[in-house]
Amino acid sequence: MKRMAFLGCLILFLAPTVFAQEKVEAPVWNVGDKWNFTGNGSIEVVKVDPSGFVLKFSEGKCIFESQSCNTILFEKSTRNRINVVEREMPKKYVMGLSKVLDFPLTTGKQWKTAYSSTGLGTSRPVAYDFSEIYKVSGWEDIVVEAGKFKALRLEYKRVVTRASGWGAMAPEIINQYWYSPKVKYFVKCQYDKDWMKGDKEIFNWELISFQLKK
C-alpha cells in the first residue's frame, strides 16, 4: 500500500517536471549574437534594452523572413515583432511573420495572426488580407551545415482571406521552421511548395555557423 502511494506521488511529481522540460521559454539574447545561413544570409543582435531586442537582417537571403526590413525590434518575453527600426525612429511592425516566434513554445501549441498588404496585379495595385496559421508539431533531430541539433518543428501556413483589384493573385505559402534552444534561433527553413518557381532556392536556408555572446 505504501509502495503504491509512493508511486502515485512520484507520478504527480514527474508530470509537471516532464512538462517543464518540453516547454521552451524565450532565450537570452545578447548584443553580438549572430547566425549565419546558406546563401550569405545573416541575422545579428545589435541592441538590447528594456523594450526588447533589435535584430539586423542581411539583404538577399532570408528576405522573406525579414519581410524586406533591415532592422526589427522583438518583444522581450514572446519575441513577437513589434517595431521596424529605421534611422533610429521605430514604427509599428504591420507585416507578415509578426509572431513566427511566440514563446513559450510547446508541442501542439497553435496560434494565428493576420495582416494586410498591397501588391501588383496585371495593371494596378491589389490589396490582400492574409491569415497566418502556426503550429508546433514536435521535437526532431535535424542535421544542418552547422551540426546536429534537437529542434522544435514549426509549421507555417499563409492563406489569402481577401483580395481586391484586377488580376489579384497570391499563392498559398506553406513552410517549416526548426527552432533549436541550443542555438537560440531557427536552424533551418524549408518550403513545401515551389511558390517562387525558379527562385525557390533563395528562400530555403539552413544554419552554417553561429556565435553566442555572454
| pLDDT tens-digit readout, 81-136 | 999 998 778 899 999 999 999 999 999 999 999 999 887 665 678 889 999 999 99
Residue 55: Cβ-neighbour burial (10 angstroms; 0-12, 13-18, 19+): buried
Q: How far is CA 157 from CA 118, 131, 173, in A?
A: 19, 8, 6
> Which residue in the block uniquely carries the three cell numbers 481577401?
162
pLDDT tens across 146-186, in order?
A: 999 999 999 999 999 988 876 667 778 899 999 999 999 99
> Which residue in the block uniquely carries the three cell numbers 508539431?
137
**Greatest C-alpha distance within the chain:** 79
Q: Looking at residue 14, what is its pLDDT? A: 39
Rounded CA-CA distance 158/204 in Å is 16
Sheet of strand 185-191, all strands in order from the earlier edge strand to the far edge: 89-92, 81-86, 71-75, 52-57, 41-49, 34-37, 205-211, 185-191, 173-180, 147-164, 125-144, 110-120
pLDDT bucket at 16, cuts 50 / 70 / 90: very low
Do 72 and 66 meet the contact criterion of CB atoms below 8 Å apart?
Answer: yes
User: What's the pTM?
Assistant: 0.85
> Which residue in the block uniquely carries the three cell numbers 518583444?
75
Q: Domains of the chain: which residue ranges?
A: 27-103, 105-202
